[in-house]
Amino acid sequence: MSEPRPGRRSALVTGGASGIGRALAEALGRRGVAVTLADRQLDLAAQVAEGIRASGGAATAVELDVRDAARFRTVVEELVTREGRLDYLFNNAGIGVSAEIKDYELEDWDDVLDVNLRGVAYGIQAAYPVMVRQGFGHVVNTASMAGFLPVPFAGSYAASKHAVVGLSRTLRIEAETHGVRVSALCPGFIRTPILEGGRYGRLKYRVDPARLQRELERARPMDPSLLAERVLHALDRNRAIIVEPRRWRVLWLLDRLFPAFGHAFGRMLLRRSRRLVAQMQRTGGGTGGGAAP
């Protein structure tokens, strides 16, 4: 996290009502940071904020659709008016559409890119100038291991996360001249609602939700509360790229050193995903949801 300045620190966490965003907000609250949880699901975000306050922290819930640039600016302005500063922006809101690209429609690109990429850009446009004027702050953009590796059944998601990694690396170079830090958070599998589609994502095939859950658990998803603590620890050290769980760093390194490995990994995922979907479609089941790491 950024070097402490006198006074209470503040943070804005998008997608703060559930999953990684909720865990980050709760961990920040335990550190004495005044947290603003921004989410389309205002009622759920308000419950999380209430829990943080009940534990002795400071938290506010606000409604925000990250696709709305004007609303994003208003949320940041109100936060700065209320707290007098903005120390951290966690651009965390994200959705996924799971299907092979041959089965995509235009909305499957638009929905994911609007939230996962435009939402990050709008957050930067709203908060980064404030941090530049202050001379401090930390922008944390949630990408994914899908921002490095080919991930079949998640074309739009992978495209958006590759873009977020590139944006974060570029902004980090520019921002450091202004005293502002930038990091990209690149999780592997984390036990969050997005693994099953989340509130706004979707899987475009009929599957058995229970079977899907069992398959996802085989990947040993990390608990988001553990992820949040490790992320804040990494931010203390100003890490540019944060990969968790740690075992995923091996895949990241192998892909960087041996690009053919990444292609082999992607082919394996494609075979497994096709086989799983085919099996579940033969046995029937309801409409499920899903997302890549």
- 3-state percent helix, strand, coil for the chain, nearest multiple of 5: 55, 15, 30
The pLDDT of 254-275, averaged and rounded, is 91
pTM: 0.90
User: Which pLDDT does position 232 carry in this prediction?
Assistant: 98
Q: Give residue 288's pLDDT band: very low, low, confident or very high (50, 70, 90).
A: very low
Nearest to 94 by CA among 201, 243, 17, 182: 201
- Catalytic residue (choose from 88, 128, 157, 200): 157
pLDDT at 237: 97
Residues in Cβ contact with 40 at an 8 Å cutoff, skipping those fewer than 6 apart:
17, 63, 64, 65, 199, 200
| CA gap 242, 231 in Å, rounded | 7
Q: Over the chain, what is the mean pLDDT?
A: 90
Q: Is the pLDDT of residue 49 over 90?
A: yes
Q: Judge whether 128 and 52 are in contact, CB under 8 Å.
A: no
Read off the pLDDT of residues 152-200 as tens digits, 9 standing for 90 and up. 999 999 999 999 999 999 999 999 999 999 999 999 989 876 545 455 5
Q: What percent of the chain has pLDDT over 70?
A: 87
pLDDT at 191: 83
Question: Catalytic: 157?
Answer: yes
